[in-house]
Structure 1
């Protein structure tokens, strides 16, 4: 039996009640996770891997509070893992997904247990006529949502719950550009700060010097 969840994910998190697909879908612990950072699309950012790690930690720490068990994950370098995660450039153009879908989870179920779950995430979507890459915060939100499905949760009707089937772009920073030019941007920021400090110190020095001259001038009756 194969169930496919297709969704444009989520917003923020809360303890809102979410529909459960299975109360305890995994028969063992830890749940192994394979993150495919080798077969990646053109606009994949290495920082996306970190977002998966953060999403796993989120659910291990209790997530949205609606799980009936405490999941423990183990990241492994094997495609035989319980949960397999990969990225595509865009789900609409690559896999023919409906417009607006940012990720999906495909569990294979035997009885009342998950045998394995494939999670597919896109790295960007179309905004109007242009394609836009997701920033790290957006990727983290999508990852949390899809992992929620892989842990047995369905969608929530609460907009504040991570399992609400809708997402917002959480940031506008292209992670590839940030990683490529981050050092330059930081250097420029330090230079700008140094210039501002220099101007501030110069202004204070000029102000004190002017006041000293004015005091001396008044003392010597310069303006009579």
Structure 2
């Protein structure tokens, strides 16, 4: 596998043109993203990136490449260390995405992105945003459009020790705009006073799934 990884790294950047409905890059495979041309044919509806070690994504982080073609994604799933590629995926304010899902069960996999300024990561126009475990702490880092309207915002945080970043956030400081459905699971309920929702928002659904230990 090391030889395969070394061979991939020798491929010139933006030299591969593809036409695919789904891209799944796991581990060493993530480095292939830099080899894909900005002229990817059509659009790729689904993109999944998963990495458990920083060296799997360090080429993306070091080059700070803006892979604008990813902005045409409909669904984006980033797992563990792959979450740190989020600022480099070219998701500017004009992008329209059906769903973005970020999941991290280990703090070290989001430590880098947690060190950046709040409201500095643009994700464009997203209909559904799902953050799980340590990824919930990334919420203050996301910059939502002033006119942002989401169909659904779901936050799931089962263990208390994964809530440190949200606990440090000021109340009413995380702008999320208009939200049709808000789901908070476990310790994620503690994000509720941190959210700043549009004053004209009419929420269709509010789901709070908690036990006593999650609110003490």
Q: TM-score, normalised by structure 2?
A: 0.22
Higher relative contact order (CA 8 A, sep 6+): 1
- Choose between structure 1 and 2: higher strand proportion: 2
Q: TM-score, normalised by structure 1?
A: 0.21
Which structure has the larger Rg over C-alpha atoms?
Answer: 1
